[in-house]
Structure 1
């Protein structure tokens, strides 16, 4: 070594000792002089001779051994570092001179400057053998394991997704795919027909077609042409068609109830113009041959063929049948591929429903109620005919009414079946309940006389009036003359509770059970809520609310020997080929009064339809008729009664000794030429007489020759006593 480097080196006298030189850090030559061990606590560096370019003589073998030991030590140091032991065993001060001869301590640092710097920067962790921040030194085996785990997780994810799509979401995606070319076509069941008691058709189906569109098969370039054609032939607004055909749907109903002839013509035009995506489905529409006749009884259906009123609604489960379906596939032109038809379930047509109504009797009633409307212009009119023994309704008519085939133009008021949903005060027809109860409880006999207070009676601080000043009247004459005071005293003889029980036993305050929707209970208050004068007002038909059908059933109870029967509008249900499905037999609810009481009451009611009674105008030549008139003030919804507006009625049966039918005529606010003529016996009585005479002739009832003399109009006017 020469120059400054040589002067700073101390050559030993004995070559067996290692040559050392010191240099102040930063003042010597960098490179070889800076390669040795640094002396702790100073800036000096110990330089080995083996690190210099010059090798002293005789040192070759020792240097080779030193290098071998260093190489082995380096290998052990790396292994110790992997086990996290190298830095843990590092001594506080670096070892001087040579490396350990036995190689037992791998803690001496080979490159202390770099290692200390690394530790100073926080790159090592002496306790765990990890790099700072938790990063592990990766070897080949670890990498292989992690790669395998990653592949397993990825494969598991793909497998889970595949199972999810194939099993869980299979039906959903299969359906979405099928919607492109396969759809479920309904096979509609034909709705059953409705007939009268004689088999005359009242409602049936007529074949029609439904025009539908599938926009996925529609040529977008010909939409305008399709809109123009469909708008013209189907009478549909063009804007409405644009809205429907512009949507992305596979089943769009364009128009229902298209006649088959019109559908055939449209189908030919579509084929000629090569317009795809328009299809036709077979369907049926409901047709009512008699128009408005029996409209409230028959009812009607909606466009889905579900009954929503009348018998169409109450018997819908029998009439509707069971729809079927088939899965069909279309080609690109939108035409069905018949060979590719899928699952199919046949439909079951609906059953036929046969009513108890006789169309001939119904026609008689319809004509008479129309005549009454023309003559008296009432707000409402109701007529009912019923067989008293079986409860079969032979005819039922309401006004106002509507045409079943043009129901879209009908108003809500026209659609109400007032025979079962209207509640009104019945008036004097209700007096039969008080008389029946008193006779049945043996409180009186038909010839028992009751003082009627000469027309005015103060009870409970209020005056009760008769239309005429009657004195002593028998129970029979109380009904014949329609005495309010006499009926009140009959009810008082029973007491509040007993009279209330008989009102309920006659069926008031509960539904009759007829097969017509919307029937109401009426309104009968319990005795606890009665006022002091209620016992005198209820017998004359005030403070109670009844339906016309309830009043008809009550009169039938007297006519049939005292039995309360359930009224029936449906006679039977059969299949199209006549096999019986269900038969509705007469049902007796309870025995209300004894047969003897019913006979006594029937005899008393004969006098009502006589020269002495209030309903002489209801008489029919050749027949004995029993009945009762009624005139009630019309209730004001705001409270009290409407002045000058009355509800007039007549309920009776014929022949009186063995009745074939019972009838009710009721008019709401009939307009008569004079107010004193607006009574049940003068308005409703003659209507009943005309109906009864024609019905008796139709039913082949033999008249009695000694009763063939008709009553004259003048006689009727002079002898009929009006009543409240």
Structure 2
């Protein structure tokens, strides 16, 4: 039986027709849109090029570094960076760049360039940039950044360090604590308005991103730092020294009050960074043979090991045959019979050499390591050296005697001052520290520096004996030029020859003075070292001791000791 076809209702037929028409329109619109995107009108292309977007990573605000009293030592301030869009730049305008930016930059942009973005110069101080911006040059545009500034110039430059063009720490505290101080670069989007003027828009939903950098407060006292740098530079220039170093520490806490290196540099002027002698931090990054400033350390070892005591005597005839070599005094001067105090007062090499023979080499080596020699102090600075000390298996022949007089061992000025600090504080070798406090971006304290004992290197009794002996060195011995009526000083001079190719070179010395004050209850311990002074005066007692004295007297003016600790009458 044949099937009968039913007719669709009229309303259904109409609905299908409508949907077919809709689909057709959508297809036509999609095709048109695709065609416009793939083959845009040339007029639209030209307009978009006039109002293009570009993303540029620029430096953000870096965290502040302040001294112990809140004085800012390193801050970030607004700066202006210049760039060129080659599409709108006329190379004939390059001469206009020579006066503000220099001939090299002008030459670079005197020819046609590819691309759409080229830095001209970055981080120009705002005042200088504003003066130049008074004259508009087509194709030259600006962007706002932050620049690292050291408001006091050279002050504490070797402590602070410096940053690169993108504000990333490269030396000193800036490098060692970059993870705290550094704020990641911000992305800025560059576009043009309808008049062709460049608009600088900060990325982010609100246009302003939160600063993520923390801040640091140092143990440094800017007043003492300024005094030390001034006196060290003055003394180094007078002695025609090639380098110098100074460190002042609180012997009771380990806080570094001042740390200076000569020659100095101003991190605000990047041209200075080419001078490697100025960039080097001699206080922690240079090792040298200490000479006689080492004798208080080795004498205390002899006392602690019972190889010597206050009743011990040593007969100095000016020279002495030891193993296969001769030990001698300066100018072979004989000191005669001496006790421990006079051995130190006269800086007697023969007495110290005889003393070394009574201390087992392995024991002496171990105690020197406890004093911190041969290893880093772990101060919060990049670039610290550990020094060099021979293994006890190498202590043969005259090696022990040489080490007891400060030869055949390499140390840093910081290691020396911390070791002498153990005498000042009663026998504890402390860890030095520069960072008093660290805060995160929210102001929360996340780190606090504090006293930390590394080793108990001597008994309080031995420390007291050594303090008194070192006081006699200044009042009646070889350190007289460090003597002052303002406060009592204990100290020791040192003059060491510099070895070249395994041989000591005549005329090349390191002159040093190390000491502490007030002698009765030390508040400061300090070292001054001058490398390779030129001229007839090169002994530590001649050129380093007077610098030490001048610094002490200046510090007493700004931070006077208590009356009961003032210099006692000579009688």
TM-score after normalising by structure 1: 0.66
Matching residue of 1:557: 422
Unaligned runs of 5+ residues in structure 2 are 1-47
Q: 1:629, 1:681 within 8 Å by CA — same for their partners in 2? A: yes
Match of residue 229, structure 2, among 352, 356, 366: 366
Partner of 2:317, secondary structure, is helix
Superposed displacement of residue 386, structure 1? 0.9
Superposed displacement of residue 309, structure 1? 1.7
Match of residue 635, structure 1, among 491, 499, 516: 499
RCO (CA 8 Å, sep 6+): is it higher in 1 or 2?
A: 2
Q: 1:382, 1:419 within 8 Å by CA — same for their partners in 2? A: yes
Matching residue of 2:355: 490
CA deviation string 1:506-545 (max 9, x = no partner) = 0000111112211111110101123311011110011111
Partner of 1:452, secondary structure, is strand
Matched, 1:248 2:248: no
Q: 2:297, 2:420 within 8 Å by CA — same for their partners in 1? A: no
The higher radius of gyration belongs to 1
Partner of 1:308, secondary structure, is coil
* Whole-angstrom distance in 2 between the partners of 1:264 and 1:609: 58
Query: Structure 1 residues 332, 604: closer, same or farther in 2, change over 3 A?
Result: same
* Whole-angstrom distance in 2 between the partners of 1:416 and 1:527: 31
Q: Relative to total residues, which structure has the larger strand share, 1 or 2?
A: 2
Matched, 1:668 2:531: yes
TM-score after normalising by structure 2: 0.83
Query: Structure 1 residues 326, 408: closer, same or farther in 2, change over 3 A?
Result: closer
Q: Counterparts of 1:336-351 in structure 2 under 5 Å?
A: 346-351=209-214
CA deviation string 1:374-414 (max 9, x = no partner) = 43211222222111111111112222222222240452212
Query: Structure 1 residues 710, 471: closer, same or farther in 2, change over 3 A?
Result: closer
Matching residue of 1:690: 550
Matched, 1:208 2:79: yes
* Whole-angstrom distance in 2 between the partners of 1:400 and 1:710: 38
* Whole-angstrom distance in 1 between the partners of 2:374 and 2:209: 46
Superposed displacement of residue 263, structure 1? 4.1
Superposed displacement of residue 311, structure 1? 1.7
Matching residue of 1:355: 218
Superposed displacement of residue 240, structure 1? 0.4
Q: 1:419, 1:549 within 8 Å by CA — same for their partners in 2? A: yes
Match of residue 462, structure 2, among 588, 597, 602: 597
* Whole-angstrom distance in 2 between the partners of 1:326 and 1:295: 32
* Whole-angstrom distance in 2 between the partners of 1:496 and 1:548: 24
Matched, 1:314 2:176: yes
Q: Counterparts of 1:592-631 in structure 2 under 5 Å?
A: 592-611=457-476, 613-631=477-495
* Whole-angstrom distance in 1 between the partners of 2:59 and 2:395: 56
Match of residue 190, structure 1, among 57, 61, 79: 61
Partner of 2:152, secondary structure, is coil
Matched, 1:464 2:332: no
Matching residue of 2:345: 480
Matching residue of 2:447: 582
CA deviation string 1:355-392 (max 9, x = no partner) = 21111112221222233134321122222211111111
* Whole-angstrom distance in 2 between the partners of 1:497 and 1:383: 32
* Whole-angstrom distance in 1 between the partners of 2:334 and 2:199: 89
Partner of 2:110, secondary structure, is helix
Superposed displacement of residue 662, structure 1? 0.4
Range 648-657 or range 439-448, more displaced: 439-448
* Whole-angstrom distance in 1 between the partners of 2:92 and 2:69: 52
Superposed displacement of residue 652, structure 1? 0.5
Match of residue 421, structure 1, among 285, 290, 297: 285
Alpha-carbon RMSD across the aligned residues, in angstroms, is: 3.0
Unaligned runs of 5+ residues in structure 1 are 1-176, 712-724
Matched, 1:223 2:77: no
Partner of 2:420, secondary structure, is helix
